[in-house]
Amino acid sequence: MSPKKNGPEPIAPAAPWVPVTIRDVAKVAGVSTGTVSNVLNRPDIVAESTRRRVLQAVESTGFIRNTQAHQLRGGRSQTVGVVVLDVANPFFTEMFRGAESRLQTEGYVLMLASTDGSVEREANFVRAMEEHRVEGVLITPAAAELGALAGLRTRGVPTVLLDRKATADEFCSVTVDDVRGGELAARHLFETGHLELAFVNGPSSVRQCRDRRQGVRKAVRSVSKTKKVEVTEVSVGALTVRHGEDVVERILAMSPRPTAVMCANDLLALGVLRGLASRGVRVPDDLAVTGYDDLIFGSMLSPALTSVRQPAFELGVAAAELLLDEVRNPDHRHREVRFEPELVVRTSSRP
Amino acid sequence: MSPKKNGPEPIAPAAPWVPVTIRDVAKVAGVSTGTVSNVLNRPDIVAESTRRRVLQAVESTGFIRNTQAHQLRGGRSQTVGVVVLDVANPFFTEMFRGAESRLQTEGYVLMLASTDGSVEREANFVRAMEEHRVEGVLITPAAAELGALAGLRTRGVPTVLLDRKATADEFCSVTVDDVRGGELAARHLFETGHLELAFVNGPSSVRQCRDRRQGVRKAVRSVSKTKKVEVTEVSVGALTVRHGEDVVERILAMSPRPTAVMCANDLLALGVLRGLASRGVRVPDDLAVTGYDDLIFGSMLSPALTSVRQPAFELGVAAAELLLDEVRNPDHRHREVRFEPELVVRTSSRP
DNA sequence: TTGAAAGCGCTAACAA
DNA sequence: TTGTTAGCGCTTTCAA
Helix, strand, coil content of chain B in percent (nearest 5): 45, 15, 40
At residue A278, the pLDDT reads 85
Residue A14 lies in a domain: no
d(CA A47, CA A305): 65
For the cut 80, the answer to whether the pLDDT of residue A296 exceeds it is no
In this prediction, what percent of chain A has a pLDDT beyond 70?
95
Q: Are residues B213 and B108 in the same domain?
A: no
At residue A11, the pLDDT reads 39
For the cut 50, the answer to whether the pLDDT of residue A44 exceeds it is yes
Measured CA B25 to C1' D12 distance, in angstroms = 28
Measured CA A37 to C1' D13 distance, in angstroms = 14
Q: Are residues B303 and B182 in the same domain?
A: yes
Q: Are residues B147 and B166 in the same domain?
A: yes
* Torsion of the alpha carbons at A44, A50, A53 and A56, rounded to the nearest 10: -10
For the cut 50, the answer to whether the pLDDT of residue B96 exceeds it is yes
DSSP codes, A256-309: SPPSEEEESSHHHHHHHHHHHHHTT--TTTT-EEE-SB--GGGGGSSSPPBEEE
Q: Are residues A85 and A136 in the same domain?
A: yes
For the cut 90, the answer to whether the pLDDT of residue B116 exceeds it is no
* B171-198 pLDDT, tens digit each: 999 999 999 999 999 999 999 999 999 9
Residue B46 lies in a domain: yes
* B155-174 pLDDT, tens digit each: 999 999 998 888 767 899 99
CATH number (domain holding residue A40): 1.10.260
Query: Closest Cα to residue B103, out of B320, B284, B261?
Result: B320
Angle at A122 between CA A308 and CA B71, to 5 degrees: 130
Candidates A93, A133, A333; nearest CB to B66: A133
* B287-302 pLDDT, tens digit each: 999 999 998 778 878 7
Nucleotide nearest A20, CA–C1', reads D9
Q: Mean pLDDT of all residues in chain A?
A: 91
Residue B82 lies in a domain: yes
For the cut 70, the answer to whether the pLDDT of residue A277 exceeds it is yes
At residue B152, the pLDDT reads 94
Would you call A62 an interface residue with chain B, using a CB distance cutoff of 8 Å? yes
Confidence of residue B341 (pLDDT cuts 50, 70, 90): very high
Segment A254-282 shows an average pLDDT of: 93
Q: Are residues A292 and A336 in the same domain?
A: no
Residues 274 through 333 of chain B touching chain A, CB cutoff 8 Å: 274, 277, 295-297, 300-302, 332-333
At residue B88, the pLDDT reads 83
For the cut 50, the answer to whether the pLDDT of residue B306 exceeds it is yes
Residue B137 lies in a domain: yes
Helices B33-41, B48-61: crossing angle, 10 deg rounding:
100
Confidence of residue A15 (pLDDT cuts 50, 70, 90): low
Nucleotide nearest B26, CA–C1', reads D3
Contact A272, A248 (CB under 8 A): yes
At residue A3, the pLDDT reads 34
Candidates A90, A107, A302; nearest CB to B88: A90
At residue B146, φ and ψ (nearest 5 deg) are -100, 10
Q: Mean pLDDT of all residues in chain B?
A: 91
* B318-338 pLDDT, tens digit each: 999 999 999 999 899 999 999
Would you call A17 an interface residue with chain B, using a CB distance cutoff of 8 Å? yes
**Among B16-20, B97-101, B234-238, B257-261, the least confident range:** B16-20
At residue B8, the pLDDT reads 36
Would you call B154 an interface residue with chain A, using a CB distance cutoff of 8 Å? yes
Residue B9 lies in a domain: no
DSSP reduced 3-state for B131? helix
Residue B168 lies in a domain: yes
Domain count of the fold of chain B: 3
CA atoms within 13 A of residue A149's CA, in its CB half-sphere: 24
For the cut 70, the answer to whether the pLDDT of residue B6 exceeds it is no
At residue A351, the pLDDT reads 84
At residue B90, the pLDDT reads 83
End-to-end CA separation in angstroms for chain B: 66
For the cut 70, the answer to whether the pLDDT of residue A111 exceeds it is yes
Q: Are residues A220 and A299 in the same domain?
A: yes
Nucleotide nearest A49, CA–C1', reads C1
B294-331 as b/e, with b when 16 or more CB fall inside 10 Å? Answer: bbbbbebbbbbbbbbbbbbbbbbbbbbbbbbbbbeeee
Query: Closest Cα to residue B12, out of A330, A223, A288?
Result: A330
Query: Mutate which of A17, A104, A131, A132 to test chain B, going by most B C-beta atoms within 10 A?
Result: A132
Query: Mutate which of A9, A68, A122 to test chain B, going by most B C-beta atoms within 10 A?
Result: A68
Confidence of residue A206 (pLDDT cuts 50, 70, 90): confident
Measured CA B32 to C1' D3 distance, in angstroms = 6
Q: Are residues B199 and B292 in the same domain?
A: yes
End-to-end CA separation in angstroms for chain A: 68
d(CA A151, CA A144): 16
At residue B293, the pLDDT reads 92
Residues 6+ apart with CB under 8 A from B302: A273, A274, A277, A302, B347
DSSP letter (8 states) at residue A147: G
Beta strand segments in chain B, E? 79-84, 109-114, 136-139, 159-162, 172-176, 196-201, 230-235, 260-263, 288-290, 307-309, 336-339, 342-344
Q: Are residues A160 and A201 in the same domain?
A: no
Measured CA A157 to C1' C7 distance, in angstroms = 25
Domain termination site, one of A65, A83, A100? A65
Residues whose C-beta lies under 7 Å from strand C? A 30-35, 38, 45-47, 49-50, 69, 72-74; B 19, 21-23, 33-34, 36-38, 40-42, 63, 65-66, 69-70, 72-75
Residue A7 lies in a domain: no
| Complete edge-to-edge strand list for the sheet that includes strand A260-263 | A230-235, A196-201, A260-263, A288-290
Residue B8 lies in a domain: no
Amino acid at A225: K
Domain extent at residue A156: 75-176+312-340
Distances (CA, A) of B178 to A64, A240, B17, B71, B165: 38, 32, 54, 41, 12
Q: Are residues B188 and B245 in the same domain?
A: yes
Q: Are residues B226 and B321 in the same domain?
A: no
Query: Mutate which of A6, A64, A273 to test chain B, going by most B C-beta atoms within 10 A?
Result: A64
Strand D footprint nucleotides (protein C-beta < 7 Å): 1-5, 7-13
* B99-113 pLDDT, tens digit each: 999 999 999 999 999
CATH number (domain holding residue B235): 3.40.50.2300
Nearest CA in chain A to B88: A93
Task: Report the relative pairing of strands B307-309 and B342-344 from DSSP bridges.
Answer: antiparallel
For the cut 70, the answer to whether the pLDDT of residue B234 exceeds it is yes
d(CA B250, CA B39): 73
